[in-house]
Amino acid sequence: MKNINWKKGLFSSKYKLFENNIEVGYFSPSAFSSTSIGKLKESKLKFRTKGFFSSETEIIDLNSKQLIGNIKFNSWRSKAEIKIKDKNYLWKYGNFWHSKWSISENGQQLVNYQSSTTCGDVEALIENNSLILCGFYVYNYYVLWMIIVVVLTAVIISGN
């Protein structure tokens, strides 16, 4: 089993990833760009979404410069399908507060995440750094959409 801890500043979007208190990677989402970058040990990925309202994201291995998979998002913002090298995984929230989420394959949970505002933990039953990074990407994608909905709702309610 692999245990990873992550930390980020209160007003920062960059996650620093640690294993045994040693920094082993990062995940850097971008709210104003269609790409995000993540690195965990030897794995370095770029996530590229085509179009702002797209429900699909490409996963590109930056070491080989090859497309290795994609992520398809659920329109209800609660699940996502991750495909990496002909393997299919399901990402979903684990609780009402969206502080827990997981990735599974054929009903077996492989990676479990738990978060608070500035830190969290990852427990992985498999050695798949790319899949772990995908979990961060999906979570951030849905957090961004939640922020957009809250802001738009506030603007509509205030009448401005």
How much is the mean pLDDT over the chain? 89
The pLDDT of 47-63, averaged and rounded, is 86
Which residue range forms the structural domain that includes residue 104?
Answer: 2-158
Query: Cα 75 vs. chain centroid, distance in angstroms?
Result: 16
Q: What is the tens place of the pLDDT at every residue in 90-128?
A: 999 888 878 899 999 999 999 999 998 889 999 999 999
Whole-number pLDDT of residue 96: 82
Number of domains in the chain: 1
Say what percent of the chain tops pLDDT 70. 90
Q: Which two tokens stand for residue 124?
A: 């992985």
Q: What is the tens place of the pLDDT at every residue in 22-34?
A: 999 999 987 667 8
Enter the pTM of the model: 0.88
Whole-number pLDDT of residue 44: 98
Asked whether the predicted pLDDT for residue 10 surpasses 90, the reply is no
Provide the CB-side half-sphere exposure for 77 (13 A, CA). 14
CATH number, position 22: 3.20.90.10
The pLDDT of 2-8, averaged and rounded, is 94
- Strand ranges (E), the chain: 2-7, 15-19, 22-28, 35-40, 43-49, 56-61, 66-73, 79-84, 87-93, 100-105, 108-115, 119-124
